[in-house]
Amino acid sequence: MEEKEVTFVLFGGSGDLTKRKLVPAFARLVHEGIISNNSTIIGVSRKKWSDEEYKRYLVDAVNEQRDKDYINKLDIKFFTGDFTKNGLAGLNKLMLKCETEGCNRIYYLSTSFKFFPSIVKELKSNGLEKVKKGFTRIVFEKPFGSDLKSSEELDSEIHKVFSEESVFRLDHYLAKETVQNLNILKFNNPLFYSSLSNKFIDSIELIVDEDLGVGERIGFYNDTGAIKDMVQSHLLQVLSILLMEMPSRLETEKIHDEKVKILKKLEVLKAENHLLGQYRSYNEEREKAGIVNLHRETETFCKLVLNCKTKRWNGVRLILRTGKKLNRKYGQIKINYKAVDLKGNVSNLMPNKAIIDIYPKQDIIFFMNTRDANSDSLKEIKFQFTKELEFGPNTRDEYAVLLGEVIKGDKMMFARSDEVIESWKIVEKIEKMRDKIKFIYYEDGSEL
């Protein structure tokens, strides 16, 4: 891909995400020659920082000297403005001063979704919604709304200014190596794909455990909880890719069409199948932060069971599990096959399992049965693909991948509007039965 000049305008540009994820990604984009050195980063917030202060803030966010040099090469500006109150006047002028003709623009919104409509309106009223030459694209960090209604409202407000084509709803799980590999693993391996159905499979578990607590994000998290923070986006996105049928072509829109078909067919099982929980020290953290519980106890853990009412999947238990302050940081897809009911001598027969690791490894393991050469019984054996041995360590950061895709204009790794809406519908169903779901308090660092 030819190097592109891009102006990134970061709303929420002085926040934690910019430091942790975006700055390393910008360095990577320069390193890979995806953006040119004359690209610009403009941080926008109410803070009264100078350009120099912001530049230092960004350069300090990366550790390696090479990355610091890359960031130093970029043109870095800070724009003080309240985007809820006509605060963007002057931004266009600043951008034009930095850009050469034909420069592309990416607006990156990592503020609360509550500000998305006013930022979009402000962009429009200041004539910032498009440039004559080059592209203008807008990226929204999750969560995209807090329920079905707010998400639909956001869509309608955003579409008044930006066409769906230029809207990128970011979900960093879609750029995880394992998730990028899922369609290839399924569709290019008949050996595996032909076994993916209710004929052979008993259940599928999608596990995303975390060892850290909610930390400084408790203000946001207390109203959100694990279901809205993780399931609505990451887990349902991964599940829809895992279950989707083969599209007529592996093209972006066709893949989204297949994902939506799955999301529409997902059913939430009755309340007794699910479990919610909260880690023991959460309430203390909440009280310390001065946050009062208004409606409910916040779940920092959930285990939800769904069914997908398609011919292929109906009857397979789909278990989504995620939680904070558990014993480890771990992500995995576990496909549990049915036990084969053979008559005769079948001692030690184990049901097959396919394990697809998401984090920290990206290995794939098939557990199968073989004859134990030293006895008459069966033995469970592993066929293991160790990704790091084959390809070396994973060095491509998810945010660099995703920003690269925004620049390319490919939306395969982003959530489409109807996917987000369907996911919220599923979450609404769970929320409706919430009071009937068992709620536990678990020890910090426990296994569950």
Residues that bind ligand BG6 (CB under 6 A): 142, 172, 210, 229
Q: Which is nearer to ligand BG6, 142 or 286 (CB)?
A: 142
Burial 97-115 (b: 16+ CB within 10 A, else e): ebbeeebbbbbbbbbebee
Minimum gap (Å) between residue 307 Cβ and ligand BG6:
26
Minimum gap (Å) between residue 323 Cβ and ligand BG6:
10
The amino acid that residue 336 corresponds to is N
Burial 373-384 (b: 16+ CB within 10 A, else e): eeeeebeeeeee
Edge-to-edge strand list for the sheet holding 414-415: 75-80, 40-45, 6-11, 104-109, 136-140, 167-170, 414-415
Minimum gap (Å) between residue 315 Cβ and ligand BG6:
30
Q: Which is nearer to ligand BG6, 42 or 227 (CB)?
A: 227
Minimum gap (Å) between residue 362 Cβ and ligand BG6:
13
Minimum gap (Å) between residue 357 Cβ and ligand BG6:
13
Q: Which is nearer to ligand BG6, 127 or 360 (CB)?
A: 360
Residue nearest to ligand BG6 (CB): 229
- Catalytic residue from among 172, 234, 256, 274: 234
| 234 given a catalytic annotation | yes
Q: Which is nearer to ligand BG6, 155 or 229 (CB)?
A: 229
What residues form DSSP beta bridges with 318? 204, 306
Minimum gap (Å) between residue 144 Cβ and ligand BG6:
12
Q: Which is nearer to ligand BG6, 5 or 209 (CB)?
A: 209
Q: Which is nearer to ligand BG6, 129 or 229 (CB)?
A: 229
Residue positions annotated with a catalytic role: 234
